[in-house]
Amino acid sequence: MLRRQTSTVAHDGRDDDVLAALGIKPELSRRMGVFGNFAISFSVICILAGGMSLFGFGLAHGGPVVMLGSWIVIGFMTLLVGLSLADVVSAYPTSGGPYFMADKLGGARWGWMTGWLNLLGLLGAIAGIDYGAAVFTGAFAQMQWGITPTNSITMTIFGAILLLHGLLNSAGVRLVNALNALSVWWQLAGVTVIVGALTLAPTPHRSPTFVFTHFHNDTGFTRPLYVALIGSLLAGYTFCGYDASAHVAEETADAQTAAPRGIVRSIYVSWAAGFVLLTGLLFALQDYTATQNTPTGVPPAQIFLDVLGAPGAKALLAVVIVAMLFCGNAEVAAASRMVYAFSRSRALPGWQAWRQVNEQTKTPTRAVWFVIVVPFLLALPAMWSPAAYGAITAINAVGMIPAYGIPVYLALRKGRAYRPGPWSLGRWRKPVSVTAVAYVAIITVVFCLPQSTPITAQSFNYAGLTLLAALLLAWGTWITRGRRDYQLTAAASAQPAEAMLSEGI
């Protein structure tokens, strides 16, 4: 399917020349390699975060057959989106990621709208990931010390986790790279340990018929197809964040091939490992209703307790929590690079501050703290209303997924005028990209569908309203300041970037 074009773009050890051709002055430390680039996206997808956090959602919205079936389908479709996005990333390997590509392929307004969707999605992701880690930490504290995790306690833990991630990311990309590498092995070993422990435990296990065919519906809706659609969001929400490989492209050696490979590899490895994890948990599930209504608030923790007892459950829960911490740390790294790049284009209020790079660490430190403080503020409504918090964090998927699809669509629209990079789908680009864009449109609608009935203020799915608010924010800021101040690159090149790239720089 893939072909490597060496005639289109110079790339071997000449990353800074590529950036210069795109009008970008290299400022960040280029210390990541192929594995490091893959590791950050794999860490952000984090099956031990998404798969575990949404496991209870899956049990209620279709049960095992929908959880596993949709994991296969959504994983495959995500791979197509990732392949298509990787093709465009190879042509434009910058920290701006989707917004930079959209601007180059469709113009300033496309870039502005895509940038705001991607940014809000990244900020919502940090809020969701680190708050989820705080919830799991609260469940661990309840099991270990009998502490009831109140909203204020959870928020305090959440703040401490954000602070930790701010400090780690301020230390420089070398530490972040090392932590991401450790995260890969931690997650893969974690899945092996969890599934192995649950499988080998001398307790009853569910039959293959139950695991692969049982349908369970607590949504209030009666149509199985509709329930399967909304149940697919377990996988849909998990398969987000692989744009991280693009956001650290300016810190990656041979970025035009390493970043695309990082995106694609992170998806298919997560796809395989996540299926193993979900299958292992479902085989080990003891009491369905009791697991859904567990006093820990974390259904997988109840499975651990039922199968392994308190000591084993606490050990496995600790494995999951550490994986979540790795995930949040990687997302902070990706989001801070997005803030840095978007500020470099003068898109954010106070852009002069957020685009600054620390001279010692070569890290956008101020952007790091921007993406620490804003998610904390976004999550504050959780102190009083879980529904309000859900409305804020819903922008994670409904912001990020469309931001992936827009540059792919614009590359298709450009037709033969689009110049691919050295990593290209070749003749497969059009059919794969058309399918990917169609999937992005469909899954975005599914994200916004009602998820339970009767619909109340607490059960209402705020994703659609959140997406509308994000679009209105992007449009409003474009009208008031974007079309006046926004500038993709600080300095224009002597000749169009695409022409320079096509000539081998």
Which pLDDT value is given to residue 3?
46
Which pLDDT value is given to residue 388?
67
Q: Could you say which DSSP state residue 481 is in?
A: I
Quick one: 205 exposed, middle or buried, by C-beta within 10 A (0-12, 13-18, 19+)?
middle
Quick one: 248 exposed, middle or buried, by C-beta within 10 A (0-12, 13-18, 19+)?
buried
CA dihedral for 194, 200, 203, 207, sign (positive or negative)? positive
Which pLDDT value is given to residue 5?
41
The amino acid at residue 343 is S
Point out the residues of the chain with pLDDT beneath 70.
Answer: 1-13, 387-389, 391-393, 490-505
Residues 133/137/139/142 CA torsion (nearest 10 deg):
-170
Which pLDDT value is given to residue 428?
96
Q: What is the pLDDT of residues 55-112, one digit of tens each?
A: 999 999 999 999 999 999 999 999 999 999 999 999 999 999 999 999 999 999 999 9
Which pLDDT value is given to residue 450?
93
Which pLDDT value is given to residue 502?
44
Which pLDDT value is given to residue 432?
98
d(CA 106, CA 472): 20
8 A C-beta contact, residue 284 and residue 299:
no
Which pLDDT value is given to residue 394?
75
Q: What is the pLDDT of residues 353-384, one digit of tens each?
A: 999 999 999 999 999 999 999 999 988 887 88
CA distances (Å), origin 320, targets 313, 314, 358: 11, 10, 33
8 A C-beta contact, residue 221 and residue 454:
no
CA distances (Å), origin 171, targets 26, 311, 333, 358, 371: 19, 35, 11, 10, 15
Helix axes 98-106, 299-344, angle to 10 degrees: 50
Look at the pTM and tell me if it is higher than 0.85. yes
Q: Could you say which DSSP state residue 54 is in?
A: T
Nearest residue to 275 via CA among 1, 23, 34, 67:
67
For the residues of 370-429, what is the DSSP string, one character each? HHHHHHHHHHGGGGT-HHHHHHHHTHHHHHHHHHHHHHHHHHHHHGGG----SEE-GGGH
d(CA 436, CA 432): 6
